[in-house]
């Protein structure tokens, strides 16, 4: 079964809009902003050993933050941490092991971090996978692999750290999503995709997980309204990282086309990470808590598929799946 949440017409409009924004962003450079001071603030970043997460960790370290990098592979993590230390000159960088597809590992990591850092100021849920597989893959716990890694692990991690984030004077939670959410083939009754097709370019599992990230952000924003914690989601644009290169690494025509587009309009890792830094640090955006950003602007064109009812239903189902209630 394959049901998009947008019509073909809406998809084409969104596709053109997103493509045009990418070209404009590439030409114009990063959006202007005034930033909050993060010196000695605690910033937790998932998937911080590579791509956007690593670059974000470096930028936070340069700004004097206490950076907690979570990585599933400690060898890669140590290598990245050493590099970040060398470039930034900061030694306020810690590494904690976490495999987001494994709920035991998420619980263990959250417990380590929450007991060491009474206050957490910024949480950046960045880690992600995009596997170009024509068949669905499940975790040992029975969840679809993208859904578990990109969304459910982060849902659990965030909830386990929430009391510590609430102790911050101005806490922020940033969930890295993607414009690919418009290709979601999502049903609350079939979160593991038992009866869903893999979609265009086998992108549906990835798109569904990114759709879930945005719904999660919306509901979390509602639940935290009136508190000192805000939450944002974003699409960093099409960025030249391991994820985008690996996804389109085979020799098919479709993949060669995408590689061509990536080399023409793909952003550098620094420019991609800037979108994350914008949501984590820009002053004066708290009134947009719960919304999706792209290149420093609210991406209003996707809000019609992110409905309140779906966001609430997903929250309830997620609580059951990770057994935190």
Does the protein bind ligand NAP through residue 53 (CB under 6 A)? yes
Count Cβ atoms below 10 Å from residue 259 Cβ, excluding itself.
16
Q: Which of 51, 171, 290, 296 binds ligand NAP (CB under 6 A)?
A: 51
Q: Render 216-269 in DSSP notation, one character per residue.
A: HHHHHHHHTTTSSEEEEEEE--SB-SHHHHHHT-S--HHHHHHHHHHHHHPBPH
Closest approach of Cβ 52 to ligand NAP, in Å? 4
Q: How many CA atoms lie within 13 A of 284 on its CB side?
A: 6
We find the least distance from the C-beta atom of residue 255 to ligand NAP, in angstroms, to be: 14
**49 vs 158, which CB is nearer to ligand NAP?**
49
Query: Which residue stretch of 49-57, 251-259, 284-292, 296-304 sits at the interface with ligand NAP (rule: CB under 6 A)?
Result: 49-57
Residue 96 tokens, joined: 């904690």
> Does residue 25 touch ligand NAP according to CB under 6 A?
no
What are 43's strand-pairing partners?
A: 67, 122
Pick from 102, 25, 56: nearest CA to 281: 56
Q: Which two tokens stand for residue 308?
A: 């309140």
Which structure tokens are listed for 12? Answer: 């084409």
Rule CB under 6 A: choose which of 241, 289, 301, 318 binds ligand NAP: 241
Contact mark string toward ligand NAP, 171..190, x via CB under 6 A: -----x-x------------
**Residue with Cβ nearer ligand NAP (137 or 228):** 137
Q: Using CB under 6 A, count the residues that bind ligand NAP.
A: 29
Binding segment toward ligand NAP, per CB under 6 A, in 4-12, 56-64, 125-133, 294-302: 125-133
Q: Which of 127, 198, 281, 285 binds ligand NAP (CB under 6 A)?
A: 127
SS3 track for 87-129: HHCCCCEEEEECCCCCHHHHHHHHHHHHHHCCCCCEEEECCCC
Q: Is residue 244 a contact point for ligand NAP (CB under 6 A)?
A: yes
| Cβ nearer to ligand NAP, comparing 108 with 167 | 108
Cβ at position 188, least distance to ligand NAP in Å:
21
Euclidean distance between CA atoms 142 and 50, whole angstroms = 27
Q: Which two tokens stand for residue 240?
A: 């030249």
**3-class DSSP assignment, residue 260:** helix
Interaction of residue 275 with ligand NAP, rule CB under 6 A: no
The 80-119 contact track toward ligand NAP, x by CB under 6 A, reads: ------------------xxxx------------------
Which span sits near ligand NAP by CB under 6 A: 36-44, 122-130, 197-205, 313-321? 122-130
- Distance from C-alpha of 28 to C-alpha of 13, rounded to nearest angstrom: 22
Q: Which residue of 44, 84, 109, 129 would you call a contact of ligand NAP, by CB under 6 A?
A: 129
Enter the tokens of residue 266. 């793909």
Alpha-carbon radius of gyration of the chain = 18
Shortest approach of ligand NAP to residue 123 CB, angstroms? Answer: 14
Asked if 161 contacts 112 with a C-beta cutoff of 8 angstroms, the reply is no
Query: At its nearest, how many Å lie between ligand NAP and the CB of residue 309?
Result: 25
Return the bridge partners of 304, or none. none
Whole-angstrom Cα distance, residue 310 to residue 300? 17
Catalytic residues: 206
Residue 68 binds ligand NAP (CB under 6 A):
no
Please give the structure tokens belonging to residue 117. Answer: 């850092």
Instruction: List residues binding ligand NAP (CB under 6 A).
Output: 47, 49-53, 72-73, 76, 98-101, 126-129, 149-150, 176, 178, 235-236, 238-239, 241-244
């Amino acid at each position: 079964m394959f049901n998009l949440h947008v019509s073909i017409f809406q998809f084409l409009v969104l596709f053109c809009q997103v493509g045009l924004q990418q070209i404009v962003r590439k030409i114009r450079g990063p959006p202007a902003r005034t930033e909050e001071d993060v010196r000695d603030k605690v910033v937790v970043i998932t998937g911080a050993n590579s791509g956007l997460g690593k670059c974000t960790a470096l930028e936070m370290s340069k700004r004097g933050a206490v950076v907690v990098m979570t990585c599933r592979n400690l060898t890669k993590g140590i290598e990245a941490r050493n590099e970040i230390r060398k470039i930034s000159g900061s030694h306020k960088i810690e590494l904690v092991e976490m495999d987001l597809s494994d709920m035991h590992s998420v619980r263990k990591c959250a417990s380590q971090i929450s007991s060491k850092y009474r206050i957490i100021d910024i949480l950046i849920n960045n880690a992600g996978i995009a596997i170009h597989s024509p068949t669905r893959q499940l975790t040992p716990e029975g969840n679809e692999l993208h859904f578990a890694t990109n969304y459910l692990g982060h849902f659990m991690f965030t909830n386990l750290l929430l009391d510590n984030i609430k102790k911050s004077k101005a806490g922020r939670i940033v969930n890295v999503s993607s414009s690919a959410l418009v290709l979601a083939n999502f049903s609350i009754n079939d979160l593991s995709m038992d009866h869903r097709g893999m979609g265009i370019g086998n992108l549906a599992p990835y798109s569904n997980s990114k759709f879930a990230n945005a719904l999660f952000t919306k509901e979390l924003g509602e639940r935290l309204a009136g508190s000192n914690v805000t939450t944002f989601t974003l699409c960093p644009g099409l960025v030249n990282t391991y994820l985008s290169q690996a996804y389109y690494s085979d020799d098919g025509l479709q993949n060669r086309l995408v590689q061509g587009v990536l080399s023409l309009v793909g952003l550098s890792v620094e420019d991609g990470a800037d979108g994350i830094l914008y949501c984590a640090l820009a002053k004066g955006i708290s009134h947009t808590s719960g919304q999706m950003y792209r290149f420093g602007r609210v991406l209003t064109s996707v809000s019609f598929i992110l409905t309140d009812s779906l966001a609430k239903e997903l929250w309830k189902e997620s609580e059951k799946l990770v057994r935190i209630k």
